[in-house]
């Protein structure tokens, strides 16, 4: 039976309360697992780079610590983001989640209890960098799962719930847990990292044993695909980038989607915060608070735009709210911040940007819906690669452009990128998109009326 047919079968069962808010009931515990896993993964976000430079954290030079936490980890996450889709197409997403969870736990144990005590820079960088493969395998494999197991009419909503769980954990609640652990309970930084290991393990156990939905152990393929579990399929499907240029456009849109978000928070300490030459108007804690406020607004908006796009249209939501909205909000946020020197004003426009950023949520529904069942794994691999690539590309843009054009030039460059992908998004169309389906139905009705 094909994936499309089984998804349609699921659509015929009576709707539960969870279904009515956009969560397929059999996958509920998977969303919980991703949230808890990403909380644990996000605990280290605000302090790890500094901790690695301290004697008890390995005593690494600042450049080496940054290389480990940004470059090596980011490249590993980007590669694993691709494999989360391709491996899911071979093994089924549930097995990929198992792999990602086990990978995270094993390499975190090595990092905490072997590498850090050794004070060996190579070992520290290697174990932490290799751990970067883990979270995309766990989290993005579940994104694959929910998209192949959900009825078409719910795919925007389930994408919204996925990103709600993902960003709710990393960095929002993860950073909050770190603050409570170190500030409220007095845990050391190493003890807080051990706590993150415990939290991740809980998420892995829930994801491994509490989710029973039947698509999880099946390859993403239909009856037309020979040997769906063959490892040769890891390299197959790349040609979809030129067979169906919409997938290439979608991948580029996904990279630009959150690259400015990562870039801004890499840049803000140097243009608004205490690292600014001559001193900025924000303290280190205010920069962290600004990130939490912006992410918090984005989390809530993810749910809204997931449901909204199932009515307004996936592509239209991406184009007008995501691309065009962020193209306007990005430079406005930066220039009002440096002009007013006000935390309240900066936070307000950070909220606006965070809300509009959620306009990209329907891309997670559109990408797998516009290809055939045998290409869904490839399309989702491209989507996930873009998500991992954004975390790498954003800080790189800042690193290259900031010395040349300053913070204002970087903000304008990010705005131009959003405009370029807005143009690209006009090509990412499919009849399964609720907006396109409504347009086709209206045209058919007009033809019948005229006849």
For residues 199 and 43, the answer to whether their CB atoms sit within 8 Å is: yes
Distances in Å between the Cα of 75 and the Cα atoms of 125, 266, 386, 391 are: 13, 17, 12, 9
Residues in the chain predicted with pLDDT less than 70, given as ranges, are 1-15, 221-237, 443-444, 446-448, 450-451
pLDDT of amino acid 450:
67
Coil, helix or strand at residue 295? helix
Read off the pLDDT of residues 188-215 as tens digits, 9 standing for 90 and up: 999 999 999 999 999 999 999 999 888 8
Give me 273's structure tokens: 């915060």
The continuous run of DSSP H or E covering 288 comes out as helix 284-312
Domain limits, the chain: 22-221, 239-441
> Which letter does DSSP use for residue 427 in this model?
T
What's CA 186's distance to the chain center, in Å? Answer: 31
Residues 6+ apart with CB under 8 A from 99: 87, 137
| Other C-beta atoms lying within 10 Å of the C-beta of residue 309 | 32
What's CA 149's distance to the chain center, in Å? Answer: 19
For residues 211 and 27, the answer to whether their CB atoms sit within 8 Å is: yes
For residues 337 and 281, the answer to whether their CB atoms sit within 8 Å is: no
Task: Specify burial of residue 441 (Cβ count, 10 A radius: 0-12, 13-18, 19+).
Answer: exposed
Residues 6+ apart with CB under 8 A from 32: 165, 206, 210
CA separation for the pair 137, 259 (Å, rounded):
20
Give the percent of the chain with pLDDT over 70.
Answer: 91
pLDDT of amino acid 11:
44
> Which letter does DSSP use for residue 214 in this model?
G
For residues 172 and 292, the answer to whether their CB atoms sit within 8 Å is: yes
pLDDT of amino acid 4:
47
Read off the pLDDT of residues 209-257 as tens digits, 9 standing for 90 and up: 999 888 888 877 655 555 555 555 566 567 888 888 999 999 999 999 9
CA separation for the pair 28, 211 (Å, rounded):
8
pLDDT of amino acid 420:
98
Three-class DSSP labels, 331-373: HHHHHHHHHHCCHHHHHHHHHHHHHHHHHHCCHHHHHHHCCCH
Q: For residue 334, which of 407, 261, 256 has the smallest C-alpha distance?
A: 407
> Which letter does DSSP use for residue 72 in this model?
I
CA separation for the pair 201, 208 (Å, rounded):
10
Read off the pLDDT of residues 332-347 as tens digits, 9 standing for 90 and up: 999 999 999 999 999 9
Task: Specify burial of residue 15 (Cβ count, 10 A radius: 0-12, 13-18, 19+).
Answer: exposed
Longest dimension (CA), the chain: 81
Beta strand residue intervals within 264-319, DSSP E:
none
CATH class for domain 22-221?
mainly alpha
CA separation for the pair 358, 355 (Å, rounded):
6
For domain 239-441, give the CATH superfamily: MFS general substrate transporter like domains (1.20.1250.20)
pLDDT of amino acid 229:
56
CA separation for the pair 233, 368 (Å, rounded):
17
Give me 243's structure tokens: 């067979």
pLDDT of amino acid 5:
44
């Amino acid at each position: 039976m094909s994936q499309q047919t089984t998804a349609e079968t699921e659509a015929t069962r009576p709707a539960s309360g969870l279904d009515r808010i956009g969560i397929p009931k059999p996958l509920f515990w998977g969303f919980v697992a991703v949230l808890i896993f990403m909380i644990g993964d996000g605990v280290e976000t605000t302090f790890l780079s500094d901790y690695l430079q301290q004697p008890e954290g390995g005593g690494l030079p600042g450049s080496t610590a940054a290389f480990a936490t940004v470059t090596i980890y980011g490249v590993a996450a980007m590669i694993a983001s691709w494999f989360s889709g391709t491996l899911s197409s071979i093994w089924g997403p549930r097995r990929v989640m198992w792999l990602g969870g086990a990978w995270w736990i094993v390499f975190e144990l090595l990092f905490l209890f072997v590498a850090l005590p050794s004070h060996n820079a190579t070992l520290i960088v290697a174990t932490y960098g290799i751990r970067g493969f883990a979270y995309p395998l766990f989290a993005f494999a579940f994104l694959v799962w929910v998209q192949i197991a959900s009825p078409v009419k719910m795919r925007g909503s389930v994408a919204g719930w996925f990103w709600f769980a993902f960003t709710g954990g990393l960095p929002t609640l993860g950073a909050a847990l770190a603050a409570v652990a170190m500030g409220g309970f007095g845990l050391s930084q190493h003890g807080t990292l051990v706590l993150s290991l415990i939290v991740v393990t809980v998420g892995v156990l829930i994801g491994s044993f509490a989710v029973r939905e039947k698509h999880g152990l099946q390859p993403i393929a239909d009856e037309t695909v020979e040997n769906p579990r063959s490892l040769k399929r890891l390299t197959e499907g790349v040609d979809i980038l030129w067979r169906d240029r919409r997938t290439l456009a979608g991948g580029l849109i996904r990279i630009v989607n959150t690259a400015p978000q990562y870039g801004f928070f890499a840049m803000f300490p140097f243009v608004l915060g205490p690292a600014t030459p001559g001193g900025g108007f924000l303290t280190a804690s205010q920069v962290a608070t600004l990130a939490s406020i912006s992410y918090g607004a984005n989390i809530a908006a993810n749910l809204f735009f997931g449901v909204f796009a199932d009515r307004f249209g996936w592509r239209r939501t991406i184009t007008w709210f995501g691309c065009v909205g962020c193209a306007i909000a990005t430079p406005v946020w930066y220039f009002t911040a440096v002009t007013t020197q006000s935390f309240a004003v900066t936070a307000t426009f950070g909220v606006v940007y965070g809300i509009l950023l959620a306009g990209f949520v329907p891309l997670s529904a559109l990408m797998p819906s516009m290809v055939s069942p045998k290409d869904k794994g490839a399309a989702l691999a491209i989507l996930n690669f873009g998500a991992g690539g954004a975390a790498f590309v954003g800080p790189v843009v800042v690193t290259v452009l900031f010395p040349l054009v300053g913070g204002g030039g970087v903000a304008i460059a990010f705005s131009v990128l959003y405009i370029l992908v807005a143009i690209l998004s006009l090509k990412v169309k499919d009849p399964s998109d609720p907006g396109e389906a409504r347009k086709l139905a209206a045209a058919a009705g007009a033809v019948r009326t005229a006849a």
